[in-house]
Amino acid sequence: MARPLKIAPRDLTLRLIAEGPTQAADLADRLRVDPSTITRTLGGLGSDLVRLGATRRTRYALRRKVRELATTFPLYRIDSSGRPEAWGTLEAYHRAWRVTWVGVPPAWASRFSAPEGIWKGFPFFPGDVRPQGFLGRAILRRIAPAHRLPEDQRKWEDDDTLLFLATCGEDLPGNLAVGDACLRRALALQVTPAPESTLVPHQAMTRYPEMATRAATDPPPGSSAGGEQPKFLATLEESGIERRSVMVKFSPPMVQAAGRRWADLLAMEFHALAILAEAGLSDNGHRLIDTGGRRFLEVTRFDRTAAGGRSGVISLEALHGSAIEGNAASWTERVVELEQVGLVDSSTVRETRRLHAFGELIGNTDMHAGNLAFRMTDELPFTLAPAYDMLPMLWAPGPQGELMDRSFAPQPPVPADAETWREMLDPARDFWNRVIGDQRVSREFAATARAAGESLARLAERFG
């Protein structure tokens, strides 16, 4: 039976909406018409039709508007000196996303997208900065109603993420700005930081308790939902035009049992970061402050510069999740898989093994893929960003602030990890000794730290 010579443009439109980018021959098969009929009908679909590729690989797609904003979003980066750079454009198609680069594409781009720029799912580099954790929930409470976004980020669709980035993404981790309006707001922050979070360093003693009170609305004081540590962001005006962007973690009131425990944990994170900085795995530039009945750990943000600039960053979770289809769980397993596909090199694998070994030797049970990050530039391989969130979460209070007795039982290394495990034994011993000798750590936890150090010493005698 001869195939029809005509089809309604609406039928072709609906097929492209349902299937996304599709070759003309496949459209003809789906609609049971000749390819020439498809070609003629495509010409009448208007400016929303996009032709992708050439010759036999040509596919057709339809642009779509995201939340009544636009179909195309400019992508900008802010460099280390604070200057903006046009990086590319992100286009929304039905069932697809396309990134078109302004200049030479990043070396890693072809690993994640087709030659014409079509990505498998939402690109990982804007998707990674959707709000999450304690700070993310604070942002969502503020902006979700006005922008009709779900308050639970786990229910977000890709369009929700893009709407958030375009309307509220001026001060997120990394150096990306999506859209002209977002870029203007980001540049304005360089000139006039938010006054409610800007101070000179000596004002921390009085201002940090006020800022903690404002931030500590969810979860309630004395708890830390899912192990998330309450925190806020601040800008320290230090000298001349130089500013230091910091993230400040804080304990609940130390008169509470959970508050005292979190205060101990912040002191231990302070020591862990100092030791990792000495080992070349983290940055210096952190302070531990007791004021207003709370303890504060002030950590310099590694994605911001003193000149008001920014640097790119991407989490292991986002990079591995986009590059690898697998069930690797640990930091080391995931980074080894990234090395196997050429995204990181052997030195990054070694650094990851060192970090993972140190974390295990100090009781860090929260080394999930969101707690390890890479510097993000146009080049390959990706390299590790400074370590963060490194503390003995084994002893963190429960979701309702409850304290539980937990035993520290570090495990001997498997052969692949043995060299770096032994290398990190001395830093781990140093950590426990510093904790034991720190008068800011409670006597109760100093005893726990002493027992942990003894457990580590026994293990080292046998396997060190």
**What does the pLDDT read at residue 223?**
34
**What does the pLDDT read at residue 149?**
85
63-108 per-position pLDDT tens digit: 999 998 999 999 999 999 999 999 999 999 999 999 999 999 999 9
For 287-354, the DSSP string reads EEEEETTEEEEEEE-TTB-TTS-B--EEEHHHHHHHH--S---SHHHHHHHHHHTTSS-HHHHHHHHH
**What does the pLDDT read at residue 452?**
97
**What does the pLDDT read at residue 226?**
39
Q: What angle do CA 202, 205, 207 make, to 5 degrees?
A: 95
What domains does the chain contain, in order, with CATH numbers? 9-61 (1.10.10.10), 72-191 (no CATH), 197-463 (no CATH)
Burial 274-306, CB ≥16 within 10 A → b, else e: bbbbebebbbeebebbeebebbbbbbbbbbbbb
Q: Longest Cα pair distance anywhere in the chain, in angstroms? A: 89
The parts of the chain modelled with pLDDT lower than 50 are: 1, 218-227
CA distance 439 to 187: 43
**What does the pLDDT read at residue 4?**
61
**What does the pLDDT read at residue 241?**
73
**What does the pLDDT read at residue 134?**
82
Q: For residue 338, give both structure tokens.
A: 């990234």
**What does the pLDDT read at residue 219?**
46
**What does the pLDDT read at residue 3?**
59
**What does the pLDDT read at residue 299?**
97
Residue 224's nearest CA partner among 366, 42, 121, 107 is 366
279-291 per-position pLDDT tens digit: 999 999 899 999 9
